[in-house]
Structure 1
Amino acid sequence: MEGFWLWQLMGRLHPMVVHFPIALLIFGAFLELATIGKFHSKLRPGINLLVLAGAVSVLISAAFGFLLAAHEGVEGELLDLHRISGITAAVLSLAVLFLLNQVWKKNQTKSIKAYRAALFLTAIGVGVSGHFGASMTHGENFLSETFPWSDNLGKTENNFNLASYGSAELNPEQEMQLIGEVRTVLAHNCYKCHSGAKIEGELRLDEKEFVFKGGESGAILVPGNPDASEIIRRISLPKNHKDVMPSKGKHLSQEEIDLIGFWIAKGAPWPDGAAQKSVYRVAELAPRKPALPQSIPGLENPVDLWVNSYFEENGISWQPVVDDRTFLRRIYLDVVGLIPSPEDLEAFANDPDPDKRAIWLRRLLDRNADYATHWLTFWNDALRNDYTGTGYITNGRYNITDWLYKSLQSNKPYDAFVKELLNPNDASKGFIEGIRWRGTVNASQRTEMQAAQNVGQVILGLNLKCASCHDSFISDWKLEQAYAFANIFADTTLEVSRCEKPIGKLASTKILWEELGAIDSTAARTEKLRQLSEYLVQPANGRMYRTVVNRVWKQMMGRGIVEPVDEMDNEPWSQDLLDWLAVDFVEKGYDLKELIFLIGTSKIYQSPAVGYKSQDLLLADDFVFEGMVRRRMTAEQFSDAVSQVFNPVFEGKDLKYNPNQLIPEQKNRIPYARASLVANNAFLTALGRPNREIVSTSRDSQASLLQALELTNGEKLNSVLQKAAEKWKENYREGPAIIAEVYSKALLRKPSKKESEIALAALGKDPDTAQLQDFFWAVVLLPEFQFVY
C-alpha cells in the first residue's frame, strides 16, 4: 500500500474521523447513566444508535490511524501510547457491539452489566487515545501546562535588547550571548519539527552543522545578508501563508524575527561546541576559604570585613545601626516569625549589657519551638511539603512535617538533614517519594526526572529543566547528564528521550559532578540513594554549602549574594563572602542557627533597610549591594502578627500539625494557631503563600492586586477585626486608651500628636465596634506594620 495516494488520503482523514467516536460514545455513555435501574427507557433507541455509530467509527478511526502512521513516517513514545490505547478502544468497541446485540436482540438481561462496563471503558479508552493524539499534534503539554502546579517549561519571557550589542563588531562575549538568545528562540519555536527528535523537510536547527546545511529546499541563511536568507522570508510571512514557519503553533514575534535577522546580519556566529570554551559562567565546585581582610575597629564580625571590602571597592559608606525597636522587631520576625511585645521592648531597651543584641538573638535562637514553627514555612516552600493538595487526595504524596519540625527544633546539622532527605526513612521520604504524585507527565517530567530536578534545584541551586528534554541552551548541561542523574532515583534503567522521542540509548548512572564519587549503576535504588547522600554532603561539594548559606542570607537580608538563588552559576556580588561563609558553615558543624547568629550579629544586618522601586532592580546585572532590603512580611508573619495584637486569625481547630512542644502546658488549647501550621487557604494564598505543588524558594515581596483586594475587601480579615473590635470594646472604654494600646502593641511605640488627633477624631471618646474595626484596619494596612525595616 505504500505510496498509493488513496491510502495516504484516507490516513490524513484520521484526525477528522476520530472526533466522531469521541463525541458519540461519551455522549452515549452519559445517557446510559440516566437509564440505570430502567434499561428499557425511552432513551434506549437513541442510546443504541449512538453506541452503534460510535463503536463502528472507532474501528474506522483505528484503520485510518494505521494508514496515517504508515504513510507519514511518524514515530515515538506518544505514537506508541496513542496506538495502544486506540487498539484497546477498538477491541472494546467490538465487545460493546457483541454485548449490545446479546441484550437487545437476544434479550439476555444478564449481559446488561457487562455491556455497560464495556461501554464506559470504551468511552474512557477513546478519550485517553484522543488525548495522546492531541498531544502529538498540539504538543505533549497542551493540557497539562494549564494546571496550577505545572512548571510551564515551554513558556519563556523574552527580554532581548538588540541595542545592547551596539553598532560595532561583536566581541566574543557578545557573540556568545547572541547565539544563546537565538538558540532560545529556535528551541521554543522550531525544535518540535526541526531537531534530532523530529525532522521535517530534512531540516534540523538544533546543531550548527545542520543549520548551515539547510533542508530539502537548500540553504536557509546567507551569513551577513538577512534579506537573502530563506529563514527570514519564511518567519516573516503572514500566518495563513502556505510557506510560513512555524507552520504550527504560535507565530514568531517581531522581536524574535528582528533578533534572528540581526544575528544573520552579524555573520550568523555559532561557535564550534567541542573546541569552544563554555559560553556560560560555571561556578567552582570545590570549597574555597579566602583569607579574611585586615581587622578594622568596630567591624569585629567577619561578615562585616568582607562587606567593608566590597563597600570600599564600590564607594559605599556605612550607615549607623538601627535603633533598639527596629532591631528587636527585625530579629523577632527573622528568627521566630513573631513581633515582640511592648514588655519585650522595654526589657531590651533597659538592658545595660553592651552585648545585649547578641545575647537576645541567642535567646531567640534557643526558643526551639518558635524557631522551628517559623522556619518550617521556609522549608515547606522549598521541599514541597504541605498539608493538603492534589497528591494527598490521591495518596501519592507523603507529609514530612513531623520529621521537618523535629529536625528544626533539634537544630539537626545540615549535612544530616540532607542525607535523610536523599536517603530517606519513612518520616522523611516525602521529598523524594512525594514527587511521584504527579506521575509521568511526559518523558522530561517522569517521576525520576522530577526527583533529579527538585534535588538539583533545592540542594544544589541548579536548573536541570531544559536539559531534561534536550541539551540545555541556557547552560552546559547535556541531556544524557540529566538522565544519568535521574537514573539514580530509578528502579530500572531509563531510556533517554530527546524532546519526547526515545533515542534508543539507555542512560548511565552518575552524579552531575563525577569527581564527587561514582554511583554503582548495578545497585538497587535504595543503595544508589545512600551513595548519593554520602557523596553530596561531603565538604568537597562546595556548591551545596554555598547554596544553603545563600538561601539563609536572602531570607535575612532580602536579597541573595547570588540571584536567583536557584541559579548558583550566576555571578555573586561578593565571591569571597559567599565562599568564606560556606566553608565557615562546614567548619562549625553545618549549624544553621550559628549561621543565622553570625549574620544577625553583623553590623550590616543591623544597618537601615534599603528600599527599591521594583523587584527587577534586585535581579539586574548591575546590582550593587548596599544593605538589607526592605521587605514585606510573609503571609504567615502577617497572620501571626494580627493574631498577637488583635484577634486570632486561625485557632486550634485549624491546626494541621500541632506539636506538643509548641506550648506544653496548653497543648491543643493554644490561644491562636501559628499560620505555618495550618493548611493553605484563600487568605494565605492572597498574601503570597505558594500552593507547594512545585518547589518555591523565593516569595515576591512586592504587593499584588490580589493581596490589596484581600486586605481591603477580604472576608477573613474583616471577620477577624470585627471580633477584635468586640473584645477590645469590652476591655477598653475610652478612645485615647485604645489608641495608645494599639500603637504600643502593633508598632511598639507611642502615637505622635498628629496621629493621636486623627485617630481620636475617627474614634471619639466612646467608640462603637464599627469605628474600632475601621481603626484596626487602618493600622494593619500601615507599611510600618506590614514591612520588615
Structure 2
Amino acid sequence: MLVHFPIALILVAVIMEFFTIGNYRHSLRSGIRFLIIIGSISAVISAVMGLFLAENEGVSGNNLDLHRIIGLISAGLGLLLLVLLRWKEIRPSASSIKAYRFFLFLTGIGIALAGHFGASLTHGEYYLTEILPQNSDVGIRPSLTVDLVSFADELSPEKEIQLVTNVRSVLAHNCYKCHSGAKIEGELRLDEKEFVFAGGKNGPILVPGNSEESELIRRISLPKDHKDVMPEKGKLLGQEEIKLLTLWVEKGAPWPQSIGQESVYRVADLAPRNPTLPPPKAGLDNPIDLWVDQYFEENQLSWRQSVDDRIFLRRAYLDIIGLLPTPDELDAFRTDTDPNKREIWIQNLLDREDDYAQHWLTFWNDALRNDYTGTGYITGGRFAITDWLYTSIRDNKPYDQFVKELLNPSEQSKGFIEGIRWRGTVNASQRTEMQAAQNVGQVLLGLNLKCASCHDSFISDWKLEEAYAFANIFADSTLEVSRCEQPTGKMAQTKILWEELGEIDSLATRTEKLRQLADQLVQPANGRMYRTVVNRIWKQLMGRGMVEPVDEMDNAPWSSNLLDWLSVDFVENGYDLKRLIYQITTSKIYQSPSVTVTSAEKLLAEDFKFEGVIRRRITAEQFSDAVAKISAPLFDSEEVKFRPYELIPEANTNVTFVRASLVANNQFLKALGRPNREIVSTSRDSQASLLQALEMSNGERLNRALLEGAEKWVESFSDPVALTENLYAQALLREPSPKELEVAQKALGSDPSSEGVQDLLWAVFLLPEFQLIY
C-alpha cells in the first residue's frame, strides 16, 4: 500500500488542478491541498519502501534502474512541491502559483512514469499492449508445432538449429518478463547463451545431458502451488514445452554460435539465378514439367495419368475465378475437339476480368491486410486500398509496378505501409513505421522481422539495428531504437535490408526515401522478391509452396532450379501475374491427380516429397459463392462494402449474387476461415474445425440460404428424380449414382417438400466432393 499509495493521490490532485485553471480560489482547493500533502509525504515513504523491496527480491535490470531513478526524482519533486505549496500560501502571487502548478504537473508525470516502469516489473513489459486486438495471438506458441519424435535420433546441424530455435522461443514467451536484460530476477538472464549457462545467484540451472539434475527442468515441472515453481507468475509451461526443454537438456543443451561471418541459419541468395532448362522430352511441352520430371527422376517418382475433363475444369474454374462451372460449360468443354482446349479455356478464364479480379481480391486482401471494416477505420487510423487493388488486379498491372505503388503510394494505395494507428499506448514494435517494415518484409520478401523489431532475432541473423534502419525509411523523422520496449538513446540509421541493392538517402524527405526504396526493391537484381511472389502463386494453385512456410524464404525449396528459373522467367516476361498463372495451370503437373496429406504438419516436414497438386478445401469465399449460385445468396445488399460497377461501369454484372469477396467479414466467413485482416495473413488453414462444423450444422445464415433455395428448387421441380439429377449436375458436375438417387428419393418422397429439399441441399454441400478441390 505504501509503495502504490502516492500514485493515485498525486494524479488525482493533478486532474483536480486542471479544473481550477482560471479560478484559483475554486472550491476544490482545500481537497487539492490535502492530497498534495499526503501524496508528497507518501511518495518519500514509497521510495524508501521500494528500495527495500528491490534489495529483498533480488531484482535487477534496465526497468528497475529506470524505476528507481524516476521514483527518487519524483520523491524529491514531492518534497519541493510541499515547499512551493507553503510558499504560495505565505506569499500568494501569480509567479508562485505558476511555479507551484509547474512542479505539480511535473511531479504527476514523474509519478506516472515511475508507476509505468513499476508495473513493467511486476506484470511484464507488455502489460499495456498484450490485450490489444493486434496482439490477440500472444498465447500462440510456435514451438508447440514441433514434432519432438523427429529429434529422437542423433541431431544433424539443421536439426540442432531447429531445436535450439524452438527452445529460445519457449524461453522468450514464458521467461523473458523476469529474466532478460530489462528485468533480472535472481541474477538470472535467459536471453543470451552466456547468461543461460552461467546461471543465477543459486548457481547453474543446467547440467547438459542430465535433465534430472537440471534446476531449470525441476522448476518448470513443479505444480502451480509450489513455492519454487517457474514461471512464478502467469501460465505454467505446457507439457509439450516441458518435454521440449527436457529433450534439449538431454541432448547436451546445444546452442550453436556463428563461426566468423558464417551464419548458423540457412540464408537464401539475394541475386537471381537462371539455371539451364533440362533437355526437351516427349509429352512435356511446358518448361515447368521439365523441371518436375528432373525432380521425379532424382526422387524415383513417377508421372500419373492426367485428370479427366470434369475434375480439370472444376479445379481450373475454382483456382482462376473462384466459381463452379455450370453443367452447360462442362458439356461444351467435353465436346470441344480442339487438342489445345485446356490451354484455350484457361486463357478464356483469365480473360474474364471481373470474375478473375473478384476471386483474387481475396488473396491480396489477406496478404495486404486490406478489409472493408474493422479497427482503425472509424478513427481515421487506417486506410482502405480496395479501389486501387481491384483495378490493379483487373488490369493485370505488372507486378513490379504493383509493388512500386504500394511502397511509394498514391492516396489510393497508401493503406498498406501506413499500417494501423492503434488507439492508446502501443509497444515500439507496433508503431506504424515498424509495421510497414514488418509487412513489407513478410509479404514482399518472405522475411520475418517481428523478432528483430524488439531485440536481435533468435530465429535468424537479423539484428535490431537493421530492423530499425529499414523502418526508418518509412518515418518522417529519425526513429530512436528501443530494445525490448526500452529506449536506448541511439538513433536509427536509414538502410535497405540488403545494401547491395543500393543506398537510401537518410537526409531525404519521407516521400523521396519511399521512392528510392520502391526503385531499389523492384529491380531484377532482387531475386528474392520475385521468388517470393512466384512461390505464393504456386502455393495458391498447387496447395503447397516450393518453399514452406511461404513467409520464410530462407528455407530450402523442394526444387531450387524450378523456383529460380520460374522467377527469372517471370521477370523477363514483363512481371505478368496472369501469364504466371497460365504457365502453372497449363502444366502437366497441375493437371495430375491431387495428392492427399494426412495432416498439415506433413506439408512442413523436412522430408516432404512433391508429387503433385495437394488436395485442399475450398475457401470461405468459394463455398459461399457456390452455395449462393446453387441455393440462395448468403449476404444481403447492406453487407456489400465494395461495388466494382461503381468504380468500373463496364464491370461484369451478369452474376446474380454478391461475391463473398466484396462483403464485410462476419461470423460465418470467420468460421470458415476468413482471417481478421488487422495483421497480414498469407496462408489459410485448410483443416476443418469444430467452429466450422457448428456453423455448418446450426448456423442461421446457412439455414436461411437453404430455406430460400429449397423453395426455389421446389417451384422448379416437382419430380424428385429430376430435382436430384439437376442438383448433382450443378453442385458436383455429375449424375447421382443409383445409391445416391435412392437415398435422395427416400428423403424427398414422391412430392418434394421444402423441408426435404433443405436436407438434401445441406447433405450435398457437406460432401467432401463438394468442399474439396480434387
Q: How would you bin the TM-score normalised by the shorter chain?
A: 0.7 to 0.9
Task: Map 1:758-769; keep pairs closer than 5 Å.
Answer: 758-769=743-754
Match of 1:335 among 293, 302, 320: 320
Q: Is the 8 A contact 2:617 2:771 kept in 1?
A: yes
Match of 1:383 among 355, 368, 374: 368
> How far off its partner does 1:563 sit?
0.9
Match of 1:319 among 287, 294, 304: 304
Quote the Cα distance in structure 2 between the aligned partners of 1:729 and 1:371: 33
> How far off its partner does 1:459 sit?
0.6
> How far off its partner does 1:246 sit?
4.4
Q: Is the 8 A contact 1:553 1:560 kept in 2?
A: yes
Letter in 2 for 1:400: I
C-alpha offsets along residues 706-736 of structure 1, whole Å, 9 cap, x if unaligned? 1111111111111111111222222222222
C-alpha offsets along residues 304-356 of structure 1, whole Å, 9 cap, x if unaligned? 11111111122211111111111111111111111111111111111110000
Letter in 2 for 1:471: D
> How far off its partner does 1:771 sit?
1.4
Structure 1 position 14 matched with structure 2 position 7 = no
Cα distance 1:223–1:622, how it changes in 2: closer, same or farther (>3 A)? Answer: closer
C-alpha offsets along residues 107-141 of structure 1, whole Å, 9 cap, x if unaligned? xxxxxxxxxxxxxxx99999999777544421233
| Structure 1 residue aligned with 2:615 | 630
| Structure 1 residue aligned with 2:671 | 686
Cα distance 1:247–1:740, how it changes in 2: closer, same or farther (>3 A)? Answer: closer
Match of 2:457 among 472, 477, 480: 472
| Structure 1 residue aligned with 2:571 | 586
Task: Map 1:99-498; keep pairs closer than 5 Å.
Answer: 134-142=119-127, 144-150=129-135, 152-153=137-138, 155-159=140-144, 164-165=150-151, 172-173=157-158, 175-216=160-201, 220-221=205-206, 245-252=230-237, 263=248, 268-273=253-258, 275=260, 277-437=262-422, 441-498=426-483
SS at match of 1:535: helix
| Structure 1 residue aligned with 2:766 | 781
> How far off its partner does 1:180 sit?
3.4
Quote the Cα distance in structure 1 between the aligned partners of 2:762 and 2:604: 33
Quote the Cα distance in structure 2 between the aligned partners of 1:51 and 1:197: 36
Match of 2:591 among 606, 631, 635: 606
Q: Is the 8 A contact 1:369 1:661 kept in 2?
A: no
Cα distance 1:734–1:541, how it changes in 2: closer, same or farther (>3 A)? Answer: same
> How far off its partner does 1:155 sit?
4.2
Cα distance 1:65–1:285, how it changes in 2: closer, same or farther (>3 A)? Answer: farther
Quote the Cα distance in structure 1 between the aligned partners of 2:383 and 2:295: 45
| Structure 2 residue aligned with 1:537 | 522
Cα distance 1:203–1:586, how it changes in 2: closer, same or farther (>3 A)? Answer: same
Q: Is the 8 A contact 1:510 1:518 kept in 2?
A: yes
Higher mean displacement: 190-199 or 729-738: 190-199
Cα distance 1:218–1:664, how it changes in 2: closer, same or farther (>3 A)? Answer: closer
> How far off its partner does 1:386 sit?
0.6
Unaligned runs of 5+ in 2: 17-27, 55-59, 86-106
What do you get for the CA RMSD once the two structures are aligned?
A: 3.9
Quote the Cα distance in structure 2 between the aligned partners of 1:332 and 1:511: 40
Quote the Cα distance in structure 2 between the aligned partners of 1:241 and 1:786: 50
Cα distance 1:199–1:668, how it changes in 2: closer, same or farther (>3 A)? Answer: same
Letter in 1 for 2:742: E
Cα distance 1:665–1:439, how it changes in 2: closer, same or farther (>3 A)? Answer: same
Quote the Cα distance in structure 2 between the aligned partners of 1:237 and 1:13: 33
C-alpha offsets along residues 16-71 of structure 1, whole Å, 9 cap, x if unaligned? x379779999xx99xxxxxxxxxxxxxxxxx9999999898766775555556777
Letter in 2 for 1:617: K
Cα distance 1:769–1:131, how it changes in 2: closer, same or farther (>3 A)? Answer: farther
Quote the Cα distance in structure 2 between the aligned partners of 1:293 and 1:548: 24
Letter in 1 for 2:717: Y
C-alpha offsets along residues 351-387 of structure 1, whole Å, 9 cap, x if unaligned? 1100000001001101111111110000000111111
| Structure 2 residue aligned with 1:563 | 548
> How far off its partner does 1:545 sit?
0.6
> How far off its partner does 1:645 sit?
1.5
C-alpha offsets along residues 439-475 of structure 1, whole Å, 9 cap, x if unaligned? 7621222221111111111111111111111111111
Letter in 1 for 2:759: D
Higher mean displacement: 273-282 or 545-554: 273-282
Structure 1 position 730 matched with structure 2 position 721 = no
Letter in 2 for 1:306: W
Task: Map 1:644-655; keep pairs closer than 5 Å.
Answer: 644-655=629-640
Letter in 2 for 1:623: F
Quote the Cα distance in structure 2 between the aligned partners of 1:702 and 1:615: 8
Q: Is the 8 A contact 2:74 2:111 kept in 1?
A: no
Cα distance 1:528–1:735, how it changes in 2: closer, same or farther (>3 A)? Answer: same
C-alpha offsets along residues 692-712 of structure 1, whole Å, 9 cap, x if unaligned? 111111111111111111111
Q: Is the 8 A contact 2:404 2:519 kept in 1?
A: yes
SS at match of 1:436: coil
Quote the Cα distance in structure 1 between the aligned partners of 2:449 and 2:751: 62
Q: Is the 8 A contact 2:124 2:178 kept in 1?
A: no
Quote the Cα distance in structure 2 between the aligned partners of 1:668 and 1:319: 40
SS at match of 1:773: helix
Cα distance 1:701–1:50, how it changes in 2: closer, same or farther (>3 A)? Answer: farther
Quote the Cα distance in structure 2 between the aligned partners of 1:82 and 1:336: 62
C-alpha offsets along residues 579-601 of structure 1, whole Å, 9 cap, x if unaligned? 11111110111000000000000
Quote the Cα distance in structure 1 between the aligned partners of 2:712 and 2:159: 65
Higher mean displacement: 738-747 or 123-132: 123-132
Higher mean displacement: 221-230 or 601-610: 221-230
Q: Is the 8 A contact 1:652 1:671 kept in 2?
A: no
> How far off its partner does 1:607 sit?
0.8
Cα distance 1:224–1:276, how it changes in 2: closer, same or farther (>3 A)? Answer: farther
TM-score by length of 1: 0.83
Q: Is the 8 A contact 1:558 1:629 kept in 2?
A: yes
SS at match of 1:419: helix
Higher mean displacement: 768-777 or 234-243: 234-243
| Structure 2 residue aligned with 1:107 | none
Letter in 2 for 1:731: S
SS at match of 1:406: helix
Cα distance 1:569–1:438, how it changes in 2: closer, same or farther (>3 A)? Answer: farther
Letter in 1 for 2:622: Q
Quote the Cα distance in structure 1 between the aligned partners of 2:659 and 2:672: 15
SS at match of 1:503: strand
Match of 1:525 among 500, 504, 510: 510
Q: Is the 8 A contact 2:67 2:114 kept in 1?
A: no
Cα distance 1:617–1:227, how it changes in 2: closer, same or farther (>3 A)? Answer: closer
Match of 1:656 among 633, 641, 644: 641
Cα distance 1:702–1:128, how it changes in 2: closer, same or farther (>3 A)? Answer: farther
Q: Is the 8 A contact 2:640 2:663 kept in 1?
A: yes
Quote the Cα distance in structure 2 between the aligned partners of 1:350 and 1:20: 81
